[in-house]
Structure 1
Amino acid sequence: MSIFLHAITIEHESEHDLEHDLSTKANFSAPKIYTAKGDLAKRWYVYFSYRNPVTKKLERMKNIYGKANNYKTKADRLTILTSYRKNLLKLLRAGYSPFENRSVDEIQEKDLKQVRADKKIEKVKPIFKESTINLANKELPTKSETKDLGMPLKDAFDYVLKLKNNQVKARTIQDYRLKGQAFLKWLAKNHPTTQYAHQLTKKMLLDFLNEIIIKTSPRNRNNFRLALGTILQTLEDNEIIKLNFIKSIKVLKSVPNRNKTFSLETEKSIFKYLSKEDPILLLYIKFVAYNFLRPIEVSRLKIKDIDLNNKILTFQAKNSNLKKKIIPQMLLDEIPDLSNLNPEHLLFTPTKIGGAWDTKETNRRNYFSKRFKQKVKEHFNLNEDYGLYSFRHTYITKLYRVILKDATPFEAKSKLMLITGHNSMSALEKYLRDIDAELAEDYSNLLKE
Structure 2
Amino acid sequence: MSITEQILTLEHEIEHNQEHDLILKRRYSDPKIYIASGDLSKRWYVYFSFRNPVTGRLERMKNIYGVTNSYKTKEQRMRVLSAYRRNLLKLLKQGYSPFEDNSFLIAQEQSNSAEQNITNNKNGKQTSISKQDTIKVGVKPTASLKEEPSKPILEEPIQKEHQTNTTPTKTIKEAFEFALGLKEKVISVSTKRSYQNRVKNFLEWLDKNHKEITTIDQLDKKIVNNFLNDVLIKTSARNRNNYRTELSSILQTIEDNDLIAHNFIKKIPVLKTKPERNKTYSKELNEKIFSYLEEKDPILLLYIKFISYSFLRPIEVSRLKIKDINLISRTIQFEAKNSPLKTKIIPDILLKELPDLAKLNKEDYVFTPNAIGGKWEAALENRRGYFSNRFRETVKKHFKLGNDFGLYSFRHTFITKLYRQMVKDSSPFEAKSRLMLITGHSSMSALEKYLRDIDAELPADFSHLLK
Common fold by TM > 0.5: yes
CA–CA separation in structure 1 for the residues paired with 2:390 and 2:163: 58
Larger CA deviation: 149-158 vs 299-308: 149-158
RMSD value, Cα: 2.9
Aligned residues of 2:279 and 2:405 also touching (Cα < 8 A): yes
1:27-47 Cα offsets, whole Å, 9 max, x none, are xxxxxxxxxxxxxxxxxxxxx
CA–CA separation in structure 2 for the residues paired with 1:370 and 1:316: 23
- Say which of 290, 293, 303 aligns to 1:274: 293
CA–CA separation in structure 2 for the residues paired with 1:307 and 1:283: 17
CA–CA separation in structure 1 for the residues paired with 2:376 and 2:275: 32
Runs of 4+ deviating beyond 4 Å? 4-10, 16-25, 140-149
CA–CA separation in structure 2 for the residues paired with 1:6 and 1:292: 45
TM-score by length of 1: 0.71
CA–CA separation in structure 2 for the residues paired with 1:7 and 1:395: 49
Counterpart residue number, 2:44 = 12
Counterpart residue number, 2:371 = 352
Counterpart residue number, 1:427 = 446
- Say which of 227, 238, 242 aligns to 1:219: 238
Pair 1:240 & 2:259 matched: yes
- Say which of 427, 435, 454 aligns to 1:416: 435
Aligned residues of 1:149 and 1:196 also touching (Cα < 8 A): no
- Say which of 322, 329, 333 aligns to 1:303: 322
Counterpart residue number, 1:228 = 247
Counterpart residue number, 2:417 = 398
Pair 1:165 & 2:197 matched: no
CA–CA separation in structure 2 for the residues paired with 1:24 and 1:147: 20
Pair 1:259 & 2:270 matched: no
Instruction: Map 1:279-298 onto structure 2 (within 5 A).
Output: 279-298=298-317
Q: By how many angstroms is 1:22 displaced?
A: 10
- SS of the residue 1:339 aligns to: coil
1:116-154 Cα offsets, whole Å, 9 max, x none, are xxxxxxxxxxxxxxxxxxxxxxxx969987875500011
Counterpart residue number, 2:336 = 317
Pair 1:371 & 2:403 matched: no
Larger CA deviation: 362-371 vs 436-445: 436-445
Match of 1:370, as an amino acid?
Answer: N
Q: By how many angstroms is 1:319 displaced?
A: 2.6
Aligned residues of 1:222 and 1:252 also touching (Cα < 8 A): yes
1:170-201 Cα offsets, whole Å, 9 max, x none, are 11111111111111122122211000111011
1:339-360 Cα offsets, whole Å, 9 max, x none, are 0111111111001011111111
Instruction: Map 1:138-217 onto structure 2 (within 5 A).
Output: 149-217=168-236
1:218-265 Cα offsets, whole Å, 9 max, x none, are 211110110000010000000111111011111122132111000111
C-alpha distance 159-289 of structure 1, shift in aligned 2 (>3 A): same
Larger Cα-atom Rg? 2
- SS of the residue 2:363 aligns to: coil
C-alpha distance 298-146 of structure 1, shift in aligned 2 (>3 A): same
Instruction: Map 1:11-90 onto structure 2 (within 5 A).
Output: 11-13=43-45, 15=63, 17=65
C-alpha distance 433-143 of structure 1, shift in aligned 2 (>3 A): closer
CA–CA separation in structure 1 for the residues paired with 2:64 and 2:307: 54
CA–CA separation in structure 2 for the residues paired with 1:194 and 1:328: 58
Counterpart residue number, 1:66 = none
Match of 1:307, as an amino acid?
Answer: N
Pair 1:332 & 2:351 matched: yes
Structure 2 unaligned blocks of 5 or more:
1-35, 47-62, 67-80, 89-134, 142-158
Aligned residues of 2:338 and 2:442 also touching (Cα < 8 A): no
Match of 1:12, as an amino acid?
Answer: W
Counterpart residue number, 2:24 = none
CA–CA separation in structure 1 for the residues paired with 2:263 and 2:325: 45
Structure 1 unaligned blocks of 5 or more:
26-91, 96-110, 116-139
CA–CA separation in structure 1 for the residues paired with 2:165 and 2:340: 50
Match of 1:13, as an amino acid?
Answer: Y
Pair 1:445 & 2:450 matched: no
CA–CA separation in structure 2 for the residues paired with 1:380 and 1:303: 32
C-alpha distance 375-241 of structure 1, shift in aligned 2 (>3 A): same
CA–CA separation in structure 1 for the residues paired with 2:249 and 2:273: 20
Aligned residues of 1:312 and 1:325 also touching (Cα < 8 A): yes
TM-score by length of 2: 0.68
Match of 2:323, as an amino acid?
Answer: K
Q: What percentage of aligned pairs have identical amino acids?
A: 53
CA–CA separation in structure 1 for the residues paired with 2:220 and 2:160: 30
Q: By how many angstroms is 1:13 displaced?
A: 3.2
CA–CA separation in structure 2 for the residues paired with 1:5 and 1:270: 55
C-alpha distance 414-143 of structure 1, shift in aligned 2 (>3 A): closer
- SS of the residue 1:357 aligns to: coil
CA–CA separation in structure 1 for the residues paired with 2:191 and 2:403: 26
- Say which of 385, 391, 408 aligns to 1:389: 408
1:53-93 Cα offsets, whole Å, 9 max, x none, are xxxxxxxxxxxxxxxxxxxxxxxxxxxxxxxxxxxxxxx98
Aligned residues of 1:417 and 1:428 also touching (Cα < 8 A): yes
Match of 2:382, as an amino acid?
Answer: N
- SS of the residue 1:11 aligns to: coil
C-alpha distance 93-253 of structure 1, shift in aligned 2 (>3 A): farther
- SS of the residue 2:280 aligns to: coil
- SS of the residue 2:362 aligns to: coil
Counterpart residue number, 2:11 = none
For these two proteins, the number of residue pairs brought into alignment is 340
- SS of the residue 2:44 aligns to: helix
